[in-house]
Amino acid sequence: MIMDYQIPDGIFFKQKSFSRSDRVADLLREEVANMLLFEIKDPRVQGIVTIISVKVTKDLRHADFFITVRGGEKEEKDALTGLGKASGFIRRNLGRRIRMRRVPELHFKIDKTIQAQEHLEELFKKIHEEG
């Protein structure tokens, strides 16, 4: 028995289209990461904060920066405070560097996915050792 399959046009060759908010998110991540490395002198932030990802709303008014911080909860809290204090400086410099009608409001959030992944790996290791 021969089965005839129809393949819709372009199903294998369709490239992912990137929305404007995705392109802006990539640009913001790159620019803010450079500022964190070279321009922001706050010891609560400099050298211990890593930007994992950036999500920008469709209207480009808000940008959520998901970060990780080396250290414990105290360092995370201090880093968020430092980033909150530096957000005006960061927005002002972004406004000078990128061509946008309005620079989005910046929101910094701790990304817990790496910690959750480490916790799961520990659990799997314990299960494997017991089994």
Full-model pTM? 0.78
- What is the Cα–Cα distance from 72 to 78, expressed in whole angstroms? 10
Ordered by where they begin, the domains of the chain are: 20-130 (3.30.300.20)
76 vs 49: CA distance, rounded Å: 9
**Does the pLDDT at position 118 exceed 90?**
no
Q: With 60 as the cut, is the pLDDT of residue 9 above it?
A: no
Residue with tokens 């803010």: 32
Whether 120 shows a pLDDT value over 60: the answer reads: yes
3-state helix/strand/coil string of 54-105 = EEECCCCCEEEEEEEECCCHHHHHHHHHHHHHHHHHHHHHHHHHCCCCCCCE
Under the banding of pLDDT at 50, 70 and 90, the label for residue 116 is confident
Q: Is 111 helix (H, G, I), strand (E, B) or coil?
A: coil
What's residue 119's pLDDT?
A: 85
